[in-house]
Amino acid sequence: MFDQLSERLQATLSDVRSRGKLGEGDVDAAMREIRLALLEADVNFKVVKAFTKRLKERCLGAEVMESLDPGQQVVKIVNEELTGLMGGSGRDLAFASSGPTVILMAGLQGSGKTTACAKLARHLGESGKQVALAACDVYRPAAVDQLVTVGERAGARVYEQGTDADPVEIAAWALERAREEERDVLIVDTAGRLHIDADLMDELAKIRKRTKPHDVLLVVDAMTGQDAVGVAEAFAAAAEFDGVVMTKLDGDARGGAALSVKAVTGKPILFASTGEKLEAFERFHPDRMASRILGMGDVLSLIEKAEQQVDERQAEDLQKKLESDRFTLEDFLQQMKQVRKMGPLSGLIGMLPGMGAMKQLKGAAVDEGELDRVEAIILSMTPGERAHPAMIKGSRRKRIADGSGTKIQQVNQLVKQFDQMRKVMRQMMSGKQLDPQQLMQMGGGAPRPKHRRR
């Protein structure tokens, strides 16, 4: 999501990195690039100004000038400053010690409040909380219907009174019901409003007063431009929000709004919404995000994702199989399914260190269709064939191709790639140095580039 920013910073800094010592001229040039990159990433103009000023001071300071590797030092400082700008190491929601925890959601129209409500409900439901939603957007046509539908999908109770009731009353009534039904959390969805609409901002303040929320969350679209700061300031004045939910982070928006809102209001970003599905919602980690901007990869998020999906016992099983060279196509199929459960592969690639800088991956969309094909081919094999791919010859090949709707060549290719992969794994297990050429063959070459991306 921060790809382009990361690319530019890396280009600039690798230039600085290549020199032994850097003078003030070098620092100025780097600052100019960083300034442009940040502006292009929609970081607020004033924030950029202050940021590059601080950065320059630190870069000209002793810690860089006297260091043996000034370039590396600059990278470290930019990383630290970016992390600081986005809110240090992050924070959790405030939960009530007794009674329902109330979370009030506010934001501009179209920022994705209703969807974010349902995603948050699901997220909290995952950790065992009983969640209810209050439908207080009585203005946008069919907003209540939308919340009822997505709320039920998220496994939450939805309290609604149609569109004729007063939003403040609905909120108060919903809180009452949440108490009666002993819900752990009540999430209040409100109408999208412009921060200059006095009546609606007043209504928001009233809802806040009546429900005394433990956290007020401002929903901000990651694609927002320079105005994000003005919006955040106005919402801070009316509803004193406590944290931010960034939405639509799965696009290629560079998300400078995230940096700016935190820098100007001091309110941290708590959650990131990263996709169409309800599961695409996670805690925001400022430190990891800064690393990602610099192309250092978000390995921690990747490991966490894997932990959520991979069964511990299965992983041990796999380890044993690899060690004893008993890894079969059946195991391969299971592995692939688990990896795919972690989400679209294109999203995962961005989390890998160094991948942001790999130009050939930039233009490539991981072809999920190819994976579907591989799955279909393996599923068309008998258990015997999956365990002993060597037996796949002549008529078996034809049968598998017919059964999976693929060509004989594609079946051949899969079997060959699998064979390569086993060889590589055997080497990995024996601790030998890997042959890059072999790795490439295993992956079946570079992914097919799609011309229209980036």
Partner 1 sequence: MSTSWQEIFELGEREAPAPAPEPQSEERRQGVFRRLRESLSKSRQALVEEISASLFDRIDEETWERLEEALILADAGAPTTAEVVERLEREVEGGTVSPDGEAVRDRLIEILAEVCASGRRPIDLSGEPAVLLMVGVNGTGKTTTIGKIAWHLSREFGLSVVLAAADTYRAAAAEQLAEWAERAGAELVRSAPGGDPGAVAFDAIAAARARGADVVIVDTAGRLHTQDNLMDELAKVRRVIAKQMPGAPHETLISIDATTGQNGLRQAQIFSEVVEVDGVVLTKLDGTAKGGIVLAIANELEIPVKLIGTGESLEDLRPFDPTDFARALLAE
**Residues near partner 1, by CB under 8 A:** 36, 39-42, 45, 108-112, 139-143, 145-146, 149-150, 153, 194-196, 221-228, 230-231, 248, 250-254, 256-257, 276, 365, 368, 450, 452-453
What is the distance of C-alpha 442 from the center of its chain? 28
Cβ-based neighbour number of residue 109 at 10 Å: 12
In single-letter form, the type of residue at position 349 comes to: I
**Closer CB to partner 1, 137 or 385, in the complex:** 137
**Closer CB to partner 1, 182 or 276, in the complex:** 276
Which letter does DSSP use for residue 141 in this model?
Answer: T
Give the nearest distance from C-beta 262 to partner 1 in angstroms: 16
Give the nearest distance from C-beta 150 to partner 1 in angstroms: 5
**Closer CB to partner 1, 188 or 258, in the complex:** 258
**Closer CB to partner 1, 244 or 392, in the complex:** 244
Long-range contacts at 330-336 (CB < 8 A, ≥ 24 apart): 330/378, 330/383, 330/386, 330/387, 332/378, 332/418, 332/421, 333/375, 333/378, 333/379, 333/386, 336/371, 336/374, 336/375
Give the nearest distance from C-beta 189 to partner 1 in angstroms: 13
**Closer CB to partner 1, 128 or 369, in the complex:** 369
Angle between helices 228-239 and 198-211 (to 10 degrees): 50
Give the nearest distance from C-beta 76 to partner 1 in angstroms: 26
Residue with tokens 């007043």: 202
Give the nearest distance from C-beta 107 to partner 1 in angstroms: 10
**Closer CB to partner 1, 276 or 312, in the complex:** 276
Give the nearest distance from C-beta 130 to partner 1 in angstroms: 22
Give the nearest distance from C-beta 339 to partner 1 in angstroms: 18
Q: Which of 168, 271, 170 has its CA nearest to residue 222?
A: 271
Give the nearest distance from C-beta 432 to partner 1 in angstroms: 38
Q: What whole-number distance in Å separates Cα of residue 406 and Cα of residue 420?
A: 21
**Closer CB to partner 1, 58 or 248, in the complex:** 248
Q: What whole-number distance in Å separates Cα of residue 382 and Cα of residue 324?
A: 23
Give the nearest distance from C-beta 415 to partner 1 in angstroms: 28
Largest CA distance in the chain: 76
**Closer CB to partner 1, 163 or 335, in the complex:** 163
Long-range contacts at 65-69 (CB < 8 A, ≥ 24 apart): 65/21, 65/22, 69/17
Give the nearest distance from C-beta 95 to partner 1 in angstroms: 28
**Closer CB to partner 1, 160 or 287, in the complex:** 160
3-state secondary structure (DSSP) of residue 105: strand
Is the CA virtual torsion 427, 428, 432, 437 positive or negative?
positive
Q: What whole-number distance in Å separates Cα of residue 262 and Cα of residue 88?
A: 10
**Closer CB to partner 1, 265 or 334, in the complex:** 265
**Closer CB to partner 1, 359 or 393, in the complex:** 359
- Walk across the sheet containing 157-159 and list its strands: 157-159, 131-136, 185-190, 101-107, 215-221, 243-247, 269-273, 281-283
Q: What whole-number distance in Å separates Cα of residue 3 and Cα of residue 253?
A: 9
Task: Look up residue 69 and give its two tokens.
Answer: 């590797």
Angle at CA of residue 375, ends 372 and 381, nearest 5° = 145
Give the nearest distance from C-beta 387 to partner 1 in angstroms: 34
Give me the residues paired with residue 245 across strands.
219, 271
